Structure 1
């Protein structure tokens, strides 16, 4: 039971992370901004 809960918690955290990343990238104003944001995520993780 505990393993199941940990697995579900991990899945929930992954989905939340994916949503935050998608939302952050979707705020880009143009292609240059999108590429800058992508590089920033690769180097530093989330800015918030």
Structure 2
């Protein structure tokens, strides 16, 4: 697992890069699906 430590003053953050990548890809897929659905709805309204 890839993990990254970020130290800011007294705060320490541990970032799981694989988790962040999966989350970003899931969000992008959701946006694509919403975009496709929006285009299909507009086509139905035009008919």
When normalised by structure 1's length, the TM-score is 0.59
Structure 2: which 5+ residue stretches go unaligned?
Answer: 1-15
Structure 1: which 5+ residue stretches go unaligned?
Answer: 31-48
When normalised by structure 2's length, the TM-score is 0.61
**What CA RMSD, in Å, does the superposition of the two structures yield over aligned residues?**
0.5
Greater Rg by CA:
2
| Count of matched residue pairs | 30
Q: Which one has a larger percent helix, Structure 1 or Structure 2? A: 1
Q: Which one has a larger percent strand, Structure 1 or Structure 2? A: 2
